[in-house]
Amino acid sequence: MISPRSPPGSSSQSPRSPSAPPFLSVTVTDPVKLGNGVQAYISYRVITKTNLPEYQGPEKIVIRRYSDFVWLHDRLAEKYRGIFIPPLPEKSAVEKFRFSAEFIEMRRQALDIFINRIASHPQLKQSEDLRTFLQEDEETMERARSQETGIFKKKPADLIQIFKDVQSKVSDVVLGKEKPVEESNPEYEKLKHYIFELEDHLAEAQRQAYRLVKRHRELGQSLSDFGKAIKLLGACEGDSLGKVFADLGSKSELLSIKLQKEAHNLLMNFEEPLKDYVRAVQSIKATMVDRANAFRQQCELAETTKLKEINLDKLMLMRSEKAMEAEIEYKELKAESEEATRRFETIVKLMSEEMVRFQEQKTADLGLAFHEFAKGQAKLANEIADAWRSLVPKLDACSPSLCS
């Protein structure tokens, strides 16, 4: 789901020229390990190039770490309900993988995709939090993270109570004590079914892609080991057969390098995009949870408002002194109910627009990934066939019986 980027500096016009088309291009680069032990982390240079007037200048370079990206993601998720917030790569908890060159490059690429999706999104790119992330110094970012609110900043005791409340709620539903309030929308039910199926199929495709990467690596290692062994065998011969064995060993080692290179290409350009779309579907599911919560809140407020209205009518018929106070409460609750309805309708509208964007981007991204996969496999197969074919005349010459 790599968002297209506008190439900055491709025109002779000044980036701030009124006639230049608006662009916002971001690059995540130069990962550097800082600190030691459990305190160690990776920092990245984030380079922003833009001609948008709300930014401080045409180019800005800041240093960011993974937790800064998490801060931006969570802020957007909190403020833009109904929009599919681009997913972040997972945080590896395994020390030996966390700082491997391959993991660091995979993380850098995923973060670059994440930030450019936001920068190319019609609503998210206008976020003040994005501008903070792209422009402010490290101290300002650290203060912003420390001021974060919401569930992630609650005390352990508060979190335990939240989990107990959720567990109690789920138990009530399972035991039939409470019937969950859900939308009865056939089209939305079809969408939910599609999303859950898509997640399963993407996850399985990603698992099989990983097996392909592993197979290429194992075959590459086997060819390397075989090449070394056959060259040693050739050294014992010392004649024309020894020369052919040396050539065979060299070809095996050369093909080993090609297979390892293709394994890396498969990992970065095939398995990773599939894994990224698994995460993207999880972002859609998170938006579905927001939609379900908004629908439930709308229904509950509508029901409460109706009860307040009935109670108000009774008090007014009785000419009760409490009628005036009840009317104020009713009007406040009605306004809150109408606002909840607007929130739900906004989420529904945004989700519909987001699904169109998602499908278009998925078609483009996965189409490119599969195209590159097929092209890489075809090239590798030709190179392997050419390498072995070039040895056949030499082996024929050493084995006259094969030609008879």
Ordered DSSP codes for 216-276: HHHHHHHHHHHHHHHHHHHHHH-SHHHHHHHHHHHHHHHHHHHHHHHHHHHIIIIIHHHHH
Look up residue 155 and give its two tokens: 């005390």
3-state secondary structure of 62: strand
Residue 277, pLDDT above cutoff 90: yes
Residue pair 244/398 in contact (Cβ under 8 Å)? The answer is: yes
Look up residue 242 and give its two tokens: 């020894």
Q: What is the mean pLDDT of residues 71-94?
A: 89
Residue 179, pLDDT above cutoff 90: no
**331-338 contacts, C-beta under 8 A, 24 or more apart:** 333/301, 333/304, 333/305, 333/308, 334/305, 334/308, 334/309, 336/301, 337/298, 337/301, 337/302, 337/304, 337/305
- Least confident among 130-134, 174-178, 323-327, 391-395: 174-178
DSSP-derived letter for residue 183 is -
Residue 170, pLDDT above cutoff 60: no
Residue 319, pLDDT above cutoff 70: yes
For the whole model, what pTM was predicted?
0.81
Question: What local confidence, expressed as pLDDT, does residue 174 receive?
Answer: 43
Question: What local confidence, expressed as pLDDT, does residue 227 receive?
Answer: 95
CA–CA distance, 243 with 236 (Å, rounded to integer): 10
**Type of residue numbered 397:** A
Question: What local confidence, expressed as pLDDT, does residue 293 receive?
Answer: 93
Mean pLDDT score across all residues of the chain: 86
Phi (first) and psi of residue 48, to 5 degrees: -110, 130
Question: What local confidence, expressed as pLDDT, does residue 161 receive?
Answer: 54
Longest CA pairwise span in the chain (Å): 117
Residue 7, pLDDT above cutoff 70: no
Question: Percent of the chain beyond pLDDT 90?
Answer: 66
Residue pair 127/79 in contact (Cβ under 8 Å)? The answer is: yes
Residue 102, pLDDT above cutoff 70: yes
**CB burial class (10 A; 0-12, 13-18, 19+) of residue 164?**
exposed
Question: What local confidence, expressed as pLDDT, does residue 300 receive?
Answer: 93
49 forms beta bridges with 25, 59
3-state secondary structure of 28: strand
Q: What is the mean pLDDT of residues 318-330?
A: 87
Higher pLDDT, 11 or 280: 280
Region for residue 25 given its phi and psi (left: phi exceeds 0; alpha: psi -120 to 50; beta: otherwise)? beta
- Domains of the chain from N-terminus onward: 22-140 (3.30.1520.10), 203-398 (1.20.1270.60)
Band (pLDDT 50/70/90 cuts) for residue 229 is: very high
Q: What is the mean pLDDT of residues 299-314?
A: 91
Residue 50, pLDDT above cutoff 60: yes
Question: What local confidence, expressed as pLDDT, does residue 12 receive?
Answer: 42
Return the ∠ at Cα 59 (arms to 58 and 61), rounded to 5°.
Answer: 160
Question: What local confidence, expressed as pLDDT, does residue 164 receive?
Answer: 54
Band (pLDDT 50/70/90 cuts) for residue 16 is: low
CA–CA distance, 136 with 277 (Å, rounded to integer): 30
Higher pLDDT, 15 or 269: 269
Higher pLDDT, 307 or 156: 307
Band (pLDDT 50/70/90 cuts) for residue 167 is: low
Question: Percent of the chain beyond pLDDT 70?
Answer: 84
Band (pLDDT 50/70/90 cuts) for residue 93 is: low
- What pLDDT digit, counting tens, does each position of 362-383 carry? 999 999 999 999 999 999 999 9
In total, the chain counts a number of residues equal to 404
Residue 316, pLDDT above cutoff 90: no
Cβ-based neighbours of 336, under 8 Å, separated by 6 or more:
301
Question: What local confidence, expressed as pLDDT, does residue 153 receive?
Answer: 55
